[in-house]
A and B are shown apart, each in its own frame.
Chain A
Amino acid sequence: MHGPPDNRENANWMDTESVARRWTKVYPTVLAYVRSMVSRHEDAEDIVQQVALAILADDAERPAVHHFNAWVLGIARNKVLQYWRDDKYKRVVVFNSEAVDRLAAFYLDNLPKHSRVTEALEHCLARLTQRARHLLELRYVRDMKPQAIGERMNLSSRGISVTLCRIRESLRTCIGQRMQQAD
């Protein structure tokens, strides 16, 4: 009589439930990383979905738990590069592969702070005027580009871009102050 094999002794193995749990935690960072380079929302979401599928497919390649986040961001990096190589998208690309890697490292380093940044951002968004939040809502929820917003309002897209730029800079400053206070 003998007992069942114990897969937990294998350091390179993660079961599907563990992968799902870790993916849920790292997902916002992966999405943010991809969105930081791929400005079209739908394309970014497609890429993240491909990352999720790749993670589930590569069960034999799953790394140990402490390498999981780096592994996932590496897959995301490859998917983004693949997306840029795909002729059908014809996107403007401003990154070389070194910059893509450095950005991945930046997001990996900032992963522990992600929820704090989100909390600080929620606080700072509440301090915006409701009208400024409406503008952000048009840009980020309705996915309207500055030009589209400008055309609809009969204003210059330059004016919209400047306003969006200033709102985001005010939020960046506010987030920094908020996190400094928390520290």
Chain B
Amino acid sequence: MTKEQAIQLIYAYLDDSLSEQDAARLRDWLAESPDHVTFYGELSLVHTGIHRVLEVRDLGHSMHTLLKAEDSATGDVVDLESVLAQYSPEQNPTDPIPLRDLPEIDAAAARKNVKRRPAARPADDEDNEPVVNMFGVRVYRKTVERTAAPRSTRRFMAAAVVLLAVLAGVWWVNQLPAWDQPVATLQGNNGLVWEDGGTQWPLNSRLKPGRYTTTAGFGEIVFDRGATVLLQGPCEFIIANDNELTLTSGKIAAQITPSAVNFTVNTPRAKVVDLGTEFCVAVAPNGTTLTAVFDGTVDLAGFKGAKDHNNVLLGAGWQGTVDHKGRVEPATTQIPPDHAFTRSLAESHHELAVDGQVKWYRRPPANVRLDALKTKGYAVVFAERRGVVLDEVFENVLVDAGTYGEEDLHWYSEPIPKGTVVDSYLVHYEPDITLDEPTASVSLTIAFPRPIRGVVWHNKSLFASDGRFGLPRTEYPTWDSQVRGIDTGIGDGTDDLIIHPDGRTITLHLEVNNNARRNNVIFCDQVRVLIESDPPSNEGS
């Protein structure tokens, strides 16, 4: 088999259009030599690369949208037949076609370059009826016959056509977006790391259309049309224009001003169009897209390749999913309190890293009293007040690294000095168990963004500090109804607390049994963690 024949067979296999006979030939050829497999690999890199670029980038979703817009109703014409006619099958099929030696045109810019013809037909005779081409676009196959004009007239007409073409070209160039011009601004960051790791972008850096990748941290960019987007690393995205981006992986949060209505987020499998709102989008590695709406409404549409879009309108407080095949899941759900979205740069300074049997409720519960927040198999942590200035020394807290449990009693640390500014978090565990299930326990680890200044573990101290650190809209237990705090062998079970050497991480083992409930005294486990308060500083990365 010649190399040219092998190339044809390989591409035919990749196009899923190889006959059984040719498959056998290709199988034998691949088995002949390891070099043949390597050559196959080189060709498949091109095939899979085109797939990825077209699917993920502008020529994926945007081109699909464009082609749908180029419907027969618009009268636009895309005459692909003419270009195919240039490539006769009789030519050597593996000869590369010549590429344009023109200045590069951004893919997104190219989609603006649609040839427009008037919707009116060039002639009204039956022979010139338009046919619908592969795009569902009307194409006139037959050239309209015209009576030959005198030579002088033809020269004049030719000159006029040239002039018109020049004018049209100037107009067209002016209509093209300025792809080398920035369309967004980096307005803030919190530990943002770009993919190359070495880029130092100060605040107010201007961003041009193109592809960007972050590996960690948060960045806030403001599009020129007014949309504010929070990037949560790691994420990969493409800025398309001043009101549109493509998110290929990772998470973003968008807040839209009235001037930026219809701000669009494309993903490999979905399209999210803002209708005046605040929303978040997460794209999993397989393309599954989760969209959560916190304010207003968005239009979430799935993208299923050759098939039609399907879509759903999401209102505030709801989230929807487009699966990896571009199907909008019919059931939308309310955004859970432990959703994974960081909604603002300010919020990013209070991120927790949780592990084990715990859920981080970004939306604080309304009530942590008896029977109000019972869970199965996990505890809950949520943020309380921030920036609290201690007006007196705060005692009965733990801050030194180590293990605090029944076997390792060391329940004393230096008090927190007066004047210290802290942020507060509460860990809550009340298991949803019956009297037949005597004991329930959880193990969890929480890493806080800044050093711990004190862990409030004692029952009495928790009650005493609710007023200072508790949230005004959350109901806390009352003294006579409930016992909380860590138990050291007495109470509703045996609990352990570990403060890690990094001074920011705790591990808890919390146990609750029903003996107390039988005795009509209600127990649960709660711990309040006070950490250093640090107002965000918007420095460039």
Contact = CB atoms under 8 A, between A and B. Distances in A.
B38 A162 contact: no
B96 A173 contact: yes
A36 B402 contact: no
B52 to A, nearest CB: 6
Interface string A106-147: 110010000001100111111111111111111111111111
Interface string B243-268: 00000011000000000000000000
A153 B134 contact: yes
B53 A103 contact: no
Given A32-B44, A35-B47, A149-B134, A170 B54 contact: no
Contacts of B98: 170
Interface of B is mostly: mixed
Q: Binding site of A, secondary structure by majority: helix, strand, loop or mixed?
A: helix
Interface in B5-20: 7-8, 11-18, 20
A139 B87 CA distance: 17
Chain A CB within 10 A, most for which of B80, B106, B110: B80
Given A163-B84, A172-B46, A3 B401 contact: yes
B305 interface: yes
Given A32-B45, A96-B31, A135-B84, A141 B60 contact: yes
Interface residues of B, number: 95
B388 interface: no
B64 A141 contact: yes
Contacts of A17: 353
A139 to B, nearest CB: 7
Contact of A135 (B12, B20, B52, B80): B80
Contacts of A107: 41
A54 interface: no
A45 B54 contact: no
Contacts of B107: 122, 125-126
B286 A168 contact: no
Interface of B: 7-8, 11-18, 20, 23, 26-27, 30-31, 34, 37-38, 40-55, 57, 59-60, 63-64, 67, 78-84, 87-89, 91, 93-102, 104-107, 110, 113, 133-135, 215, 234, 236, 249-250, 285-287, 305-306, 324-325, 353, 355, 401-403, 408, 410, 498, 500-501, 505, 507
The 7 A-B residue pairs whose C-beta atoms are closest, nearest first, are A170-B96, A36-B44, A32-B48, A106-B41, A39-B16, A1-B402, A131-B83
